[in-house]
Structure 1
Amino acid sequence: AGAPPENGRSGDLPTRTIRTPDDRPDAVVAPVLTVDQDALFARSAWGRRVQAELDEEGSKIAAENERLANQLAAEEADLTERRKDLDPAEFRRLAEAFDTRATNVRRERAQVVQELNARAEADRDAFYQAALPVMGELMTSRGAVAVLDRRTVFVSLDAIDVTDDLIELLDETLSDGAGRAGTMGATDPDRQFDDTQPEDGPPEPAPAE
């Protein structure tokens, strides 16, 4: 058996777009049109808004994660320092409480990231759903019967790629999509967790022996 492709996906094949002459009509009439699906979203006003929100909220999440990590490290160091003065059973109790709390914090922070990614994916899906009618109108105006993702086409002329035209139409029709059903809404990447410690000591992952 031959070696798998470098990208690791045996079903992926290279695509090629052939440049058409410069004197071609601005709007080519063809039965099939192509679009770069990823570029359609990423370069649209909708996609740029989503990416900006992801960048902003991702930075807030990272800052909160760092704050909590520093807090856990400080509490662990404090518990380690107190170990010599504590009864072994009391230290074990505090260490177990610390470990439980740290595990919960890490799980909750991972959930925040998952929720953000899920909202972004839902927004992307909402974009494509909203784009379909506009894509259909463009397809009809060009006398086409289908619009294909360019990545699925072996060879095509660049004249049938309508990505740029479709982005322009989508920006005019949908704008950045803010406030539409299914799009990213307000999120709380700084969602606070109970940072309070029990009166008899800090809870967090047991320090390494």
Structure 2
Amino acid sequence: LATAAPAQDGPPAQRPAPESPAPGSLVPESPGFASDAPAATSGAPEQPASTFLFLNQERILTDSETGRKLLDEEEAARDALRGDARAIDAAFEDEEQRLTELRKTLSSEEFRARADDFDARVVKARQDQDARSSSLAQDLDRRRRAFYSSVAPILVKLLGRYHAYAIFDESSVLLADDSLNITGAVIAEIDAQPPAAVPVPPATLDTVPAPLPAPGRAAPAEGDQ
């Protein structure tokens, strides 16, 4: 019979395990990324650096050149609408003051007729202004949707670059490594493209109803020429 091996004074020495790359690293040069080198001989499929990424959609809009241009156009359109509303309100206030002054010289029937006509025009002007405001809001929403649609190919490109399966908005991610945030990379890709205008859907700002005419001055009473 073979003799038993002599007992060891301690456990056999173990070879140190190789250091593993930090999980979720998005740096292309890091070991966590798939490379062009042949796969390991074990035959196991190569794993991506991360199964998901996330970004801040609002920053894509506010921090990119194209997005800031879109926001500037939105603010200009809102300012124009507010300016029209202020001008119309001021004109109606002046007319109301004149109508009040004419009340002393008008019969009750004529004054009531003028007052009713004035009230009807005020209501109509407010309805028209509300319609213009709603139309503008819908148009601005379409423009933003067009902007994000134009960003979609960039997201697809980065999805493949980082070997990920999904991209989530930052607001839907409870906790994640900041290295998985690709907002900066998306903005860089947007700014690297020519600053062309965002594609505009069929309904554009040009289709918003034209500014309303200022209310006409009330007709003077007899002897008030």
Aligned to 1:113: 133
The answer on 1:93 being equivalent to 2:113 is yes
- 1:182 aligns with 201
- Tell me how far apart the structure 2 counterparts of residues 127 and 110 of structure 1 sit (CA, whole Å): 26
Higher helix share: 1
Q: CA deviation at 1:48?
A: 0.6
- Cα distance change, pair 55–181 in 1 and its aligned pair in 2 (3 A): closer
Which blocks of at least 5 consecutive residues in structure 1 are unaligned? Answer: 1-20, 203-209
RMSD (Å) for aligned C-alpha atoms: 2.7
Using CA pairs under 8 Å that are at least 6 residues apart, name the structure with larger relative contact order, 1 or 2: 1
Distance 2:141 2:168 in 1: 21
Whether 1:73 and 2:93 are equivalent positions in the alignment is yes
Partners of 1:120 and 1:184 within 8 A in 2: no
CA spacing shift, 1:25–1:189, aligned 2, 3 Å: closer
Residues 189 and 63 of structure 1, relative CA distance in 2, 3 Å threshold = farther
Aligned to 1:82: 102
Q: How far has the Cα of 1:140 moved from its partner?
A: 0.6
CA apart distance, 1:106: 1.5
Normalised TM-score (structure 1): 0.75
What percentage of aligned pairs have identical amino acids? Answer: 21
Structure 1 residues 25-53: Cα deviation after superposition (integer angstroms, max 9, x where no partner): 63473211001111122222222111101
Per-residue deviation, residues 74-93 of structure 1 (Å, max 9, x unmatched) = 00001111112111111111
How far did 1:188 drift? 7.7
Which amino acid letter does the alignment assign opposite residue 161 of structure 2?
Answer: S
Give, in whole Å, the separation in 2 of the partners of 1:134 and 1:120: 22
Q: Paired residue for 1:26? A: 27
| Worse-matched range after superposition: 113-122 or 147-156 | 113-122
Which residue is equivalent to 2:11? Answer: none
Unaligned segments of structure 2, at least 5 residues: 1-21, 34-48
Give the structure-2-normalised TM-score.
Answer: 0.70
Match of 2:146 among 104, 114, 126: 126
